[in-house]
Structure 1
Amino acid sequence: MRPKLDAITLSLMQATNAAVEKLKPAVIPIYRRDCEGRIFSHGSAVLLRIDGRTFLCTALHVIDDPFEEGDTLLLDSEEGAFPLDSNFLVSREYDVAIGPLNEEACRKLSYATALMPEDVAIPTKEDRVTGRFTFAEVSGYPASRNRSRPRGIKIKRSNFSFGANIEQIDEAEIRISFNRRKKNDVRTGNSVTSPEPYGMSGGAIFGLRLAKGENPEPKLIGISVAHDVKKSQVIGTNIGLVMEIIRGGWIGTLPSHLSTSIYNAEMVGG
Structure 2
Amino acid sequence: MEKWADFAALIDQIKEIGKLERKGVDATAQLKKNDELFAVYNELKDRFSDLLSIDEMYSCFPIIRESHDTHKFFGKATSYYASIDGMLFLITASHALDCAASNNIIVCIPGHGLHVLDVNLFIINKSLDLAVYPLSKDDILASKLRMMTPINVEESIGSLYHDEMFYVVGFEASKFKIKPNNVFTYEKPFDWMTLPRATPENLKPATPEIQSDSFFCMEYHRRKQNSLSANLEITGPVPRGVSGGPIYRIIPRDGTFVQLFTGMFIEYHEVYSVSLGIKGAKIVDYLRSIG
Name the structure 2 match of 1:233: 274
Give CA deviations for 1:112-140 in whole Å, capped at 9, x if unaligned. 4311256x323535x22xx3xx2111110
2:216 aligned residue (174, 179, 184): 174
Structure (1/2) with the larger helix percentage = 2
Query: Separation in 1 of the partners of 2:67 and 2:81?
Result: 25
Written as runs of structure 1 = structure 2, the 5 A alignment for 1:86-235 is: 87-102=121-136, 103-109=139-145, 112-117=148-153, 120-122=155-157, 124-125=159-160, 127-128=161-162, 131=163, 134-147=164-177, 149=178, 151-157=180-186, 158-168=188-198, 171-185=213-227, 187=229, 190-209=232-251, 215-235=256-276
1:203 deviates by 0.6
Cα contact 2:65–2:100 (8 A) shared by 1: no
Cα contact 2:250–2:259 (8 A) shared by 1: yes
Cα contact 1:123–1:221 (8 A) shared by 2: no
| Change in CA separation of 1:237 and 1:225 when aligned onto 2, cut-off 3 Å | same
State the aligned residue count: 239
2:108 aligned residue (68, 76, 83): 76
2:77 aligned residue (43, 55, 66): 43
Name the structure 2 match of 1:30: 63
| Change in CA separation of 1:90 and 1:52 when aligned onto 2, cut-off 3 Å | same
1:73 deviates by 0.6
Structure (1/2) with the larger strand percentage = 2
| Change in CA separation of 1:164 and 1:20 when aligned onto 2, cut-off 3 Å | farther
1:9 deviates by 5.2
1:100 deviates by 0.9
Provide the identity percentage.
20
Query: Which stretch shifts more, 11-20 or 189-198?
Result: 11-20
| Change in CA separation of 1:155 and 1:184 when aligned onto 2, cut-off 3 Å | farther
Q: Which runs of 5+ in 2 are unaligned?
A: 1-31, 200-211
1:110 deviates by 5.8
1:15 deviates by 4.8
| Change in CA separation of 1:112 and 1:182 when aligned onto 2, cut-off 3 Å | farther
Query: Separation in 1 of the partners of 2:228 and 2:125?
Result: 35
Name the structure 2 match of 1:255: none
Cα contact 1:60–1:97 (8 A) shared by 2: yes
Cα contact 2:104–2:118 (8 A) shared by 1: no
Cα contact 1:19–1:218 (8 A) shared by 2: no
Q: CA RMSD in A?
A: 3.3
TM-score (structure 2 length as normaliser): 0.70
| Change in CA separation of 1:135 and 1:84 when aligned onto 2, cut-off 3 Å | same
Q: Indicate the SS of the match to 1:84.
A: strand
Which structure would you say has the larger Rg? 2
Name the structure 2 match of 1:6: 39
Query: Which stretch shifts more, 49-58 or 135-144?
Result: 49-58
Q: Which runs of 5+ in 1 are unaligned?
A: 251-270
Q: Indicate the SS of the match to 1:180.
A: coil
TM-score (structure 1 length as normaliser): 0.75
Letter in 1 for 2:87: R
Cα contact 2:78–2:244 (8 A) shared by 1: yes
| Change in CA separation of 1:92 and 1:208 when aligned onto 2, cut-off 3 Å | same
Cα contact 2:95–2:129 (8 A) shared by 1: yes
1:171 deviates by 4.1
Query: Separation in 2 of the partners of 1:109 and 1:184?
Result: 38
